[in-house]
Amino acid sequence: MHSSLRAHPDLLDALEGALGAYHHGTAKHADRVRQIANTLGVRLSLRATECEALSWAALLHDLGKLGVPVALLRKKGPLTDAEWVEMKRHPAVGAEMLVSLSPLLEPIAAGVRAHHERWDGSGYPDGLAGEEIPLVGRIIAVADALDAMTHPRPYRPRVYTPDEAIAELQAAAGTEFDPNVVAALTELYRKGHNPGAD
């Protein structure tokens, strides 16, 4: 483990446990996103220290949802504008929680904060674009979207097949997602590896 993270494994495990206790569905999603992100990190030849930060950031990417009412996380149907404002706070809240616990967790916090940024600059919370977005955040964005599409959500009437989800990601490459990350995922899928499988 990277020296900046080695001092905090128990703390990180505790945060994972807190998220699971607060909302089981979010915790299961986070674990699947971690698996997808880890696979992509290897495929993209990230250094060991980057892979470690990626793995924890993927697992804790929704940590800020501890600050979102559970009723909102479980709501069926579309969110109101006010509810979306509340929901969209979670990347920044999660990152701030990590850094407030220890500045050494900044590599993880950066990925958590950036996982809803978009390649074209239209994401949140900072409106970053292209390679301004930390690579860890770009990878988590793709992993998060794949899992969200291929597993039930209260606000979505149906689940996408893996083929449909890959097609959606390809269509959004270069606008919402880093094209290189989507290409890596597509290559893995075409070779018979299904990173989105349970």
Residue-wise pLDDT for 78-137, tens only, equals 889 999 999 999 999 999 999 998 899 999 999 999 999 999 999 999 999 999 999 999
| Rounded distance between C-alpha atoms, residue 150 and residue 163, angstroms | 10
User: Quick one: residue 52, left, alpha or beta (phi over 0 = left, psi -120 to 50 = alpha)?
Assistant: alpha
Question: Does residue 198 sit within a domain?
Answer: no
Question: Does residue 118 sit within a domain?
Answer: yes
| Rounded distance between C-alpha atoms, residue 6 and residue 10, angstroms | 9
Give me the CATH number covering residue 81: 1.10.3210.10
Instruction: Categorize the per-residue pLDDT at 198 as very low, low, confident or very high, splitting at 50, 70 and 90.
Output: low
Q: Which domain holds residue 78?
A: 3-190
Instruction: Categorize the per-residue pLDDT at 5 as very low, low, confident or very high, splitting at 50, 70 and 90.
Output: low
Question: Does residue 9 sit within a domain?
Answer: yes
Question: Does residue 47 sit within a domain?
Answer: yes
Per-residue tokens: 104: 């050494």
Its pTM stands at 0.88
Report the domain count for the chain: 1
Question: Is residue 88 helix, strand or coil?
Answer: coil
Identity of residue 150: T
Per-residue tokens: 45: 């030849």
Share of the chain above pLDDT 70, in %: 83
| Rounded distance between C-alpha atoms, residue 15 and residue 95, angstroms | 12
Instruction: Categorize the per-residue pLDDT at 25 as very low, low, confident or very high, splitting at 50, 70 and 90.
Output: low
CA angle 188, 184, 178 (to 5 degrees): 145
Question: Does residue 197 sit within a domain?
Answer: no
Question: Does residue 107 sit within a domain?
Answer: yes
Question: Does residue 195 sit within a domain?
Answer: no
Identity of residue 177: F
Report the candidate in 33, 106, 25, 10 with the shortest Cα–Cα distance to residue 68. 25
